[in-house]
A and B are shown apart, each in its own frame.
Chain A
């Protein structure tokens, strides 16, 4: 069966450092992968999308990589700030693109 796994343990880092979050998947051949941010009691907020033929995508302090051989995406936040503290969700779409399957998310805590 299809699985998307993110590190369920919280990631604690110091302000200014780079946070790296991992998303691994099995039994999928996604056309693209998305990353969302979720704050407590709020809905997911879209951050970045990367297609299967792209190795890397950047947006401001965010960077996503996508390795379809390893079946893994890495999500980086450089120069992290306390305001970056949230849960980060990885999501894969089905072939028709009309259904997202989410990972369990990784909670990031950035300490001042």
Chain B
């Protein structure tokens, strides 16, 4: 069964440094998402992306965050100047179509654990 893959599985970065998290969504999917989960807390939405544009973003997704689909397969999340509170598990997800269509589950990767020191 096709999977969403994320790399690296664990990223350790010094506070203030830039970090790029990478995702390869399922190949025929058109909608892409990033979520984060701070240890012991809820999964929180960050951003959704379709047709090379952000379609929705949360309050968490401030100017320090950006997303890009640099080629036909990768989907990246960049954090420009990391803070201690950015430490979390970051999940990428994709869906074949958007939520306006019936039965559009999101398929999640197993995440990148980001640790800010």
Contacts and interface: CB of A to CB of B under 8 A. Distances in A.
Interface of A: 31, 34, 36, 38, 41-46, 49, 51, 89, 93-94, 96-105
Contacts of A98: 31, 33, 48, 50, 55-56, 98-99
B102 interface: yes
Query: Interface residue tally of chain B, by bracket?
Result: 20 to 34
B108 A99 contact: no
Given A45-B108, A96-B55, A51 B102 contact: yes
Contacts of A94: 56, 99
A98 B98 CA distance: 6
Contacts of B50: 98
Given A34-B105, A42-B111, A104-B41, 13 more contacts: A43-B108, A44-B43, A45-B108, A94-B56, A94-B99, A97-B99, A97-B100, A97-B104, A98-B55, A100-B33, A100-B35, A101-B45, A104-B42
